[in-house]
Each structure stands twice: as structure tokens, then as C-alpha cells.
Amino acid sequence: MKGVIFSGMRPTGKLHLGNYFGALDNWIKLQEEYRCFFGVVDWHALTTGFESTEMMKENIIEMVIDWLSAGIDPEKSTLLIQSHVPEHAELHLLLSMITPLSWLERNPVVKEQVRDLDLKENMGYGLLGYPVLMAADILIYNANAVPVGEDQSPHIELTREIGRRFNSLYHNVFVIPELKLSPTPKILGTDGRKMSKSLKNNINISDSPEIIKTKIMSMITDPEKIRLTDKGHPEICVVFDYHRIFNKKELPKIEQKCRNAQLGCVACKNHLAAILSKSLQSFREKRKYYENNRQLVWDVLNKGSQEARKVTQTTLVEVKKAMRIDYVQ
Ligand code: TRP
């Protein structure tokens, strides 16, 4: 075993291809070599989604059904719900004492969120502390590495700074984790923008073959290729990008036929839809099983959260000892 890994996902419901290639695919591979903890970070979801919480429970279960069906194995990895492991919150509080406000105010990820979600004066105290909570998630397991996408790297840097600050203020308690970037192939949404549920340009890994087909048919291709007999430019075509990922074998053939006006976009899309649906078929079958056995999924999460607490409680004892707040009388 190479060490400990923690990673988390906000419960957004059914996962799309961007989530799959941005994280899940990597997690599945890492469980063979590392002691992995994967968290449903529901408190992080509240930092921006505090007004609409009615879908939280459903979003948690749908997301974790995707995890399990895709190959996250609870025999190998510990699956937990952040809010079921209250030590994350206690450590977050303690870390918030030692984190300079200026570190949080300059965080580019939070600035971006404030802009994208148009939060401004409505930005909550919790959102400012988002990276501190994330640091608590990671440091409490003494994780050696954190697999995340590039967009999260400022958060991981803050986690390291907070960990180092604690260690130097008190005692060496925390392992300083490494950033482990996911090797993500670029997968865009059906409109050519970044794939995202809120932009409604997502293809979910659980989508039926019919839905996959409809979504792929709606994709924008090379605007200069209108008829079959027009020569195409695969390098600017989202459909071709998908072939790159899902149809490596036929790629040279497709590229050549597109360029030579021997392959029309409709046929090209139909072919892609068939290949993508087929590659997700066994996933869909496993998913059906969990959909019909939801209690099993809750059992995994409840058991995992209890398992996680054994580790988090031990770390918290160390933390309090180091801070000399472990008084009992
Ligand atoms: N911020 C992460 C995201 O949006 C989710 C997250 C929360 C996380 N805590 C974490 C990821 C700890 C890695 C480790 O994707």
C-alpha cells in the first residue's frame, strides 16, 4: 500500500461523463494501491446550496449508486457521508482558529464561485471557510495524497499551508498531503462548453441508449460541414473529441473519412451513440441492481461512516493533545 487517500464529491445526483473522467475513473484505479476514503461532502454542498436542500438525500443516493455501479468497492474503500462523521466539523472549527483570514480572501476558487453564482453580499461565512472544511476532511485521515481536478489545486495548497501551520504552532500531528491531479481527457458538454449539470449540456453515465442518442444528435459539429459531401475539420468537432475517447480503434479511419467528405455527421453521430451506449451497458445493469436495493447503499454509507470515525476520533485526540485542550477535569 502506497498510503492513504481522501477525496470527496459534493452530492449533485446522477454523475455525468465529466464527473466520471474528472474523478471517478481515477478513484476506481486508486483503490487497488491506496487505503482510500471517499466522502460525500454534503456540508460543502450547503455552502452554496443552503436554500434548496430538498434534493440532498436523493442526490446523495443517486451519486453513490453511480459510484458503486462504476466500480467503487466498499470492500476495498471506505465510503462515508461527511455529516455522519462529526469530527470533520470539530477539526474544521479548530483549524478555523489558526487560519489567517487573508489566506481565505485571496482564494481564487471562492472568488470564482462568488462571481459565477452572483453571490456578492449574500456570500455566507461557511463559503469563505470552504477550503478550511476541505483541509479538515483531508488532514483528519492523514491522507498522503488527494486526487482532484486541476480546478481544486488552490484548495489543496491551502490544506497544506494549514497543516504546516498547525504542525509548527503545536506538534507534528498532520501528514502534509500531496496533490494528485487526475489524468483527465478533455470531455466537453454537448454544446462544446464545459460539461455541467447546470448548463444542461451533460451526458449522464446512467442515461439510456435513447437519451444518449438524442443528446449526441444535438451536438454541434464543424459548421462548415453541412452535407455529407462537405469536407470536415475533426480538430474543431466535439463529436470527434468523443470518438477520441470512446472509439480509439477507429479514430484514424473516421478522421480520414470526415476530411475526405466520405462520412456525414449524422452517421458519425449515430455510430458514436451506439459505441457510447454499449460501453455503458454493464454499468447500467449494475445500476439497476442498486436502484432496486437502495437500503444496501445506505448500509454501505452507514458502515463506512462508522469505520471512518475510528480514524477521525483518533486524530482528534492527537489534535487536542497537541493544542493542550484535552483537559478532562
Ligand atoms: N471541493 C471538492 C470539489 O468541489 C470536493 C471536496 C470537498 C473534496 N472536500 C474534499 C475533494 C476533500 C478532495 C478532498 O470537487
Q: Which regions of the chain carry the CATH code 1.10.240.10?
A: 209-279
> DSSP secondary-structure letter at 23?
I
CA 80 to chain centre: 14
Q: What is the pLDDT along the chain (329 residues), one digit of tens a residue?
A: 789 999 999 999 999 999 998 899 999 999 999 999 999 999 999 998 888 899 999 999 999 999 999 999 999 999 999 999 999 999 999 999 999 999 998 888 878 877 877 777 778 899 999 999 999 999 999 999 999 988 899 999 999 999 999 999 999 999 999 999 888 777 899 999 989 988 999 999 999 999 999 999 999 898 988 888 889 999 999 999 999 999 999 999 999 999 999 999 999 999 999 999 999 999 999 999 999 999 999 999 999 999 999 999 999 999 999 999 999 88
Grid cell, residue 249, equals 480503434
Grid cell, residue 161, equals 499551508
What separation in Å is there between the alpha carbon of 222 and the centre of ligand 1? 36
What separation in Å is there between the alpha carbon of 137 and the centre of ligand 1? 8
C-beta separation of 283 from 209 below 8 A: no
Write out residues with Cβ below 6 Å of ligand 1: 6-10, 41, 44, 134, 137-138, 146, 148, 152, 155
Taking the CA atoms of the chain, what radius of gyration do you get in angstroms?
A: 22
Q: What is the dihedral of CA 216, 217, 220, 224, to 10 degrees?
A: 130
Q: Which regions of the chain carry the CATH code 3.40.50.620?
A: 4-187+294-323
Closest ligand 1 atom to Cα of 147: 13
pTM of the full structure: 0.93
pLDDT for res 107: 85
The matching CATH number, chosen from 1.10.3720.10, 2.40.50.200, 1.10.240.10, 3.40.50.150, for 209-279 is 1.10.240.10
From the list 151, 111, 147, 145, the residue with the least C-alpha distance to 127 is 111
Which phi and psi angles does 181 have, rounded to 5°? -65, 135
**Residue from 41, 83, 181 to probe ligand 1 pocket by mutation (most atoms less than 8 Å from CB):** 41
Closest ligand 1 atom to Cα of 149: 15
Closest ligand 1 atom to Cα of 82: 9
Q: What is the dihedral of CA 7, 119, 100, 4, to 10 degrees?
A: 0
The matching CATH number, chosen from 3.40.190.10, 3.40.640.10, 3.40.50.620, 3.30.565.10, for 4-187+294-323 is 3.40.50.620
Residue located nearest, by CA, to atom 9 of ligand 1: 134
The strand pairing partners of 253, in sequence order, are none
C-beta separation of 48 from 168 below 8 A: no
